Structure 1
Amino acid sequence: MADPPSPEVADAHVAQAHLKAMSEVLAPLVRMMIARGVQYGPLASMLKALYVDQAVTHFGIAGEAPNDSRVSVLTGVHRAEVKRLRALPHGTEDAPAPPSIWSRVMEVWSSGHPYTDAQGVPRPLPRLASGSSEASFESLVRSIRRDVRPRTVLDEMLRVGAVTLDERDKVHLHSRTAGLHRPAADQAWMLSLHLAHHAEAFTRRVLDADEHFARVVYDSDLTAEDVGELRARVRARIDEVLNTFNAEITARRQDNLKHRPEGAVWHLSMGVFDYAEPSGPKAWLEAQAAADQTGSAPEERSENN
């Protein structure tokens, strides 16, 4: 990754625009922090340390890490505080715990044969293993952890609504809602991994146009019915695409574990999101009024970045 442009020569208007953008980006994250009991003080201390860490890591000159004075100029953090923060040991922070066993169950269940159908949709699984080679919920759990009773995992997943048990004693995974009911520790792990990767991909694309991509299709003049129909169509197609890739990724990972290829180990995140909220009728009415005056249709505002 190339060095980002130095803030010392950055345009003040550009900096202000990015600060405004950060206010909107951080607002939902701050709401999450409040809901999870994270107060301003620890978060502010962490942000200051992050400023210093990123300046040291990415804003060196000629391959050399910047000195304390340069870091202070770049970040606005007092030089004495920069020195203190740089002296702290790294890697001692508590990382979010890895996903729980039933989160792993959901991931493997969605990963492909023998747990999904031809369209990549998780199949209902018999609760208990039989003498045949047919996949079951019991064998799925055993493939992940042999020291945990499958019934214990099933009871917890039933409790939070991630699965249901039908009259034929088959377990159904509700993949659309399961993520909403993950344990709080799993949600923190997902936040640290997936949202961080999304932000990193977008940042690298903005600063040095590297190969990562972050693409969005956007428009604001839609009805609630439009949003509902588009969401249903997109989610159906995206589920098919992601389930297919998930199966391929899992197969490649399992092959790598067997053959241990040489070279660095990489991790990969791919995903899609959607978000909608009412923006009121004003934008559409103004656009329609302008179109009536000029005789042209309202301006298209969809973007594919």
Structure 2
Amino acid sequence: MNTHLKLAFLRIVKPLVRILHRKGVAVGELNQMFKQIYVEVSEEALLATGERPTTSRIAIATGLTRKEVAQLRLIGADGGHVPTPSYNRGARVMTGWLHDTEFLNAVGQPANLPLQGEKGSFAALVSRYSGDMPYRAMFQEMERVGAVQLDACGQAQLMGAGYIPHADEAEKLSILGTDVAALIQTIDHNVLTQERSQLYFQRKVCYDNLPEAALPAFKQMVGQEGMDLLIKFNAWLATQDGGSHPPADGVGRMRAGVGIYYFEEAVAEQPEERIEDSP
């Protein structure tokens, strides 16, 4: 492993190991997971080139023994980290609430909705964007994660412009699996891509000599303007979504999106240079 790749890997893995350590996951269990992933990736790579993914070929590529590879292939993949059904359904309901004119108020904001009714109600919203899930169950789920509450009139009130499961650690860890993977896949694509026009958008802005007093204002700016931009993107993507707006043409089923996140950390103090006296 070259130095640049090693340093990048260590920076990626350290915060993940911090989470695993906090959850009591031992090194042996993590090592087993890495072996499983190496076998899966090696098999996928062989299939992509039209070669037979034999146990021997995978053993050579991964450095594992044939016995280990055979056992790991029997275990099989777990399907990867994907958002749970409740997250998928809740996000779709919130998307409809944010852009569908039937559920907006006079100034174009998400309206407070009566729970029942054929049109303009929370039940109608859930029916349109969450399939056959009962509206009461959806309300309870969204209330549990802090996305919705009842107002003084007993109507459903949207509590934010993003479906963030504040109170559910399992949902948050599920999002960790999808969002971090999406960022790494974007970077990997850009590393491999030679054609400039085929690069994925990947940008950030960062300063490393900021006073702590500047952070609250910047955090608030990111929260407001970042959400405004995401809502704009969301409104456009919603018009292209095959589930609620079947396209007139086009084939295939693709997943695409944009992520915005805020970060902050303390910068380690650099030791002052010592000035040696001249002899």
Query: Shorter chain as normaliser: what TM range?
Result: 0.7 to 0.9
Higher normalized contact order (CA 8 Å, seq sep 6+, divided by chain length): 1
Partner of 1:233: 221
For normalisation by structure 2, the TM-score amounts to 0.75
- Residue pair 1:109, 1:115 contacting (<8 A) in 2 also: yes
Q: Equivalents in 2 of 1:253, 1:60: separation in Å?
A: 31
Offset at 1:97? Answer: 6.1
Q: CA 1:73/1:128 → structure 2, altered by over 3 Å: closer, same or farther?
A: closer
Residues 185-264 of structure 1 aligned to structure 2 (within 5 Å)? 185-209=170-194, 210-254=198-242, 258-259=246-247, 261-264=249-252
- Residue pair 1:194, 1:269 contacting (<8 A) in 2 also: no
Residues 85-96 of structure 1 aligned to structure 2 (within 5 Å)? 85-86=72-73, 88=74, 90=76, 93=79, 96=82
Q: Equivalents in 1 of 2:162, 2:255: separation in Å?
A: 25
Aligned AA for 1:82? V
Q: Equivalents in 2 of 1:169, 1:118: separation in Å?
A: 20
Q: C-alpha deviations, 1:208-243, integer Å up to 9, x for none?
A: 355223222122101123222222223322211211
Offset at 1:47? Answer: 0.9
Offset at 1:171? Answer: 3.0
Partner of 1:41: 28
Q: CA 1:27/1:112 → structure 2, altered by over 3 Å: closer, same or farther?
A: farther
- Residue pair 1:57, 1:65 contacting (<8 A) in 2 also: no
- Name whichever of 218-227 and 205-214 sits farther off: 205-214
Q: Aligned with 2:246: secondary structure?
A: helix
Q: Give the % identical residues.
A: 25
Partner of 1:292: none
Offset at 1:279? Answer: 1.9
Q: Equivalents in 2 of 1:259, 1:160: separation in Å?
A: 32
Partner of 1:6: none
Q: CA 1:95/1:18 → structure 2, altered by over 3 Å: closer, same or farther?
A: closer
Q: Equivalents in 1 of 2:145, 2:60: separation in Å?
A: 50
Matched residue pairs, number? 267
Offset at 1:91? Answer: 5.3
Q: CA 1:52/1:243 → structure 2, altered by over 3 Å: closer, same or farther?
A: same
Q: C-alpha deviations, 1:110-137, integer Å up to 9, x for none?
A: 34534457997x5242233457x4x332
Residue 84 of structure 2 is aligned to residue 98 of structure 1: yes
Partner of 2:154: 169
Match of 1:148 among 123, 126, 134: 134
For normalisation by structure 1, the TM-score amounts to 0.69
Unpaired runs of at least 5, structure 1 = 1-11, 288-305
Residue 125 of structure 2 is aligned to residue 137 of structure 1: no
- Residue pair 1:202, 1:213 contacting (<8 A) in 2 also: no
RMSD: 3.7
